[in-house]
Amino acid sequence: MNRMKVDEEEYWHSSKCKAFTFEDEDDELSQLKESKRAVNSLRDIVDDDDDLEKFSWSGEPVGSISWSIKETASANSTPEGSDLGPQKSSSSAASFPKQASSYSLSSFFKGRNKHGSFQSLSDALTDTGVKNYAPELRRPKAEYKDYNSVWSPKETVRRLQRGKVCPLERFHSLQEKLLLLDEAVAGHDGNVITAVLVFLKRTLKKEVLFRELEMRQVALRHFIHFLKETGDQKLLLDLLRFLDRMEEVALTQYRDHLTILDAEKRKEFLKGCIGLPFSSEDSALVQDHYTLLERQIIIEANDKHSEAAGQTEIFRKHPRKASILNMPLVTTLFYSCFYHYTEAEGTFSSPANLKKTFKIPDKQYVLTALAARAKLRAWHDVDALFTTKNWLGYTKKKAPIGFHRVVEILQRNNAPVQILQEYVHLVEDVETKLNLAMKYKCHDVVIDTYKDLKDRLQLMAYRCKVDRGSPAEVKIDSILSNPQIRWKN
């Protein structure tokens, strides 16, 4: 009995789980604190060094192929009898299958979320920071069929029309390439034709390509358009010269002036274009373009100096908003009518000089001058623009653009009613005259027109539309009470 008691005491004293005694309380507390400090120091080491290699509890590197296979097998397997077996007596301890954990020490301490709690097992397995190593599968052989099969030109064009991958480099001979081009043209698909032309441009000498395209007009038009869109100016000019299209060569070179920003350099370029083989009509236009730019450079320099000096009243009241350089002829004429209307014909900036030099038609000149002078509200110049004298010395107003257009331009520039009425009166068509007069409230014109038409009913109806006691109402009453007028109704 005593021996059993002694053995029992030795067992308790030799066990890892020592019994509680008041003597070793301080030792247990110190060991617990020391263990906690060791864990915290290990966490700091792992957090500071991201390059540490991760190992599972089995000693295998986390992310290796063997580790991935074992983890997948353990995740898919279900312990037998874990849920289906009958429960044992409550007195017996429940046993659970022990599975190998996939956590390493580094992933355990680094797997905290923003609230400080640890990640779940599913979150840890789906962590993007862990690399998964899996063997790469080869592509099926069917995908390499488009690259290895040999297609005829007709089949190649059909596949290109369907958007299939079909390399054209397998066509080596000139005969095969030309047959491919003919099939593309016969398919009436512009994208396929362009693709084949790009292939021929890359694989054929330009002399051979030009010679074959000359006999295929559809492909030639596609190729010329392609060169224009891509900006291959050198090859385009070589092709046009080969085809002996010298006018197109000249026009193509002339378009290059659009890329020159400096006015002086553009003027010199245009001067060189005058000698190119244009048609007679185009040659005159190029000459006018050069002359116009030359005039604009002179006008711009003089007006810029005058505006800076501040000695010209028109520039003080209406400062210039933009430069006149490279502007169209109509814009230049408007500018001249606005700032230089009273200058003599001998000056470059005179409107009359511009009209004479560039042969501007009367209608275009009158429209532009009317818009410019009406904008300045120079009504005396507007009146002088339409006043003419016959050989007997009588004055008469005449408008080559029609007085109805004159009225519209004056109204857009906020002309007074008196000015509008004067020109509405000059409109020849009666219906148009009445419509304009009613639209712009020219009462005197409406009243006089109805009086001339002897239309008493229309005059009485219009009396209801004017203000009571106004001069228009007084005039209508005076006409209606005149016994000498013989009304038609």
pLDDT tens-place string over residues 392-441: 778 888 999 999 999 999 999 999 999 999 999 999 999 999 999 999 99
pLDDT digits (tens, 9 = 90+) for 346-388: 899 999 999 999 999 999 999 999 999 999 999 999 999 998 8
276 CB contacts (<8 Å, ≥6 apart)?
A: 249, 250, 253, 254, 286
| pLDDT at site 70 | 59
Task: Please tell me the pTM assigned to this model.
Answer: 0.63
Rounded to an integer, what distance in angstroms lies between the CA atom of residue 157 and that of residue 193? Answer: 9
More confident: 228 or 86? 228
> The tokens of 282 are what?
């185009």
Give CB contacts under 8 A, 24+ apart, made by 179-184. Answer: 179/153, 180/153, 180/156, 181/212, 181/216, 181/219, 182/153, 182/216, 183/153, 183/154, 183/156, 183/157, 184/157, 184/160, 184/219
User: pLDDT higher for 341 or 310?
Assistant: 341
Q: Would you state the structure tokens that stand for residue 404, as one six-digit string?
A: 């109805």
CA distance 28 to 10: 20
pLDDT of residue 396: 87
Query: Cα-flanking dihedrals φ and ψ of residue 345, to 5°?
Result: -70, -20
Residue 130 has pLDDT above 70, yes or no: no
pLDDT score of 432? 94
* Per-residue pLDDT at 481 exceeds 70: yes
Helix (H, G, I), strand (E, B) or coil at 88: coil
The backbone torsions φ and ψ at residue 36, rounded to the nearest 5 degrees and listed phi first, read: -65, -40
Beta carbons of 336 and 354 less than 8 angstroms apart: yes
Q: Any idea which of 5-14, 38-47, 210-219 has the lowest mean pLDDT?
A: 38-47
Crossing angle of helices 430-439 and 443-453, rounded to 10°: 150
| Interatomic CA distance for residues 17 and 210, integer angstroms | 99
CA gap 399, 369 in Å, rounded: 12
CA dihedral 58, 59, 62, 64 (to 10 degrees): -100
Please state at what angle helix 280-309 crosses helix 263-273, rounded to 10 degrees.
160
Q: Is the pLDDT of residue 96 over 50?
A: no
Q: Check: CB of residue 193 under 8 Å from CB of residue 160.
A: no
Q: Among residues of the chain, what percentage have pLDDT more than 90?
A: 54
